[in-house]
Amino acid sequence: MSAQTDLRELNNDLSLILADYWHEIDFHGGAGASAYYTEDAEFHGQFASYIGRDKIQAFYDWRRERGDRLSVHSFTNFRARFTGEDEAEATNFLFLYAKDGVRPLPSHVPVTISLATDRFRRVDGQWLCTYRRFEHLFESDTPITNPSLDDEDK
């Protein structure tokens, strides 16, 4: 295979994994989120960071325990590149539409539009996320969910 074919395959594989991940989050509340991460993965949001697969999963477990929330994570401008034989980095623009409650909810602007940076490692033939970071470019007045922010409201 040529380097160009390998890069196309990488972009296809990783964008499909990311689409599956966000589907898991939006339709199952992240019940299976940990399957997408390495044991030592890092997840950095705007207001909190979670280090390790168990901590990342605990965030999604906490999120589901809060009650009904409708979300759509939509991404565009996906670009991936190899950073090693079994390592890669990808960026995309992530549009988050979300609000507590059940569908249908009134439509609104995205809660956030972020530059997302993900790093992946191929483990036993499977690409897993080792690092995820969101840098908010736009924010609305709809609050994101975060345990530390919820604690401030009490």
Its domain, for residue 62, covers 3-152
| CATH number of the domain within which 140 lies | 3.10.450.50
The model carries a pTM of: 0.93
Q: Which residues of the chain have pLDDT under 50?
A: 152-154
pLDDT at 153: 44
pLDDT at 60: 97
The predicted-structure confidence for 14-50, as pLDDT tens digits, reads as follows 999 999 999 999 999 999 999 999 999 999 998 899 9
Number of domains in the chain: 1
**DSSP secondary structure, 64-130, as one string:** HHT--EEEEEEEEEEEEEEEETTEEEEEEEEEEEEEES-SS----S-SEEEEEEEEEEEETTEEEEE
Give just the sign of the alpha carbon dihedral 18, 20, 24, 26: positive
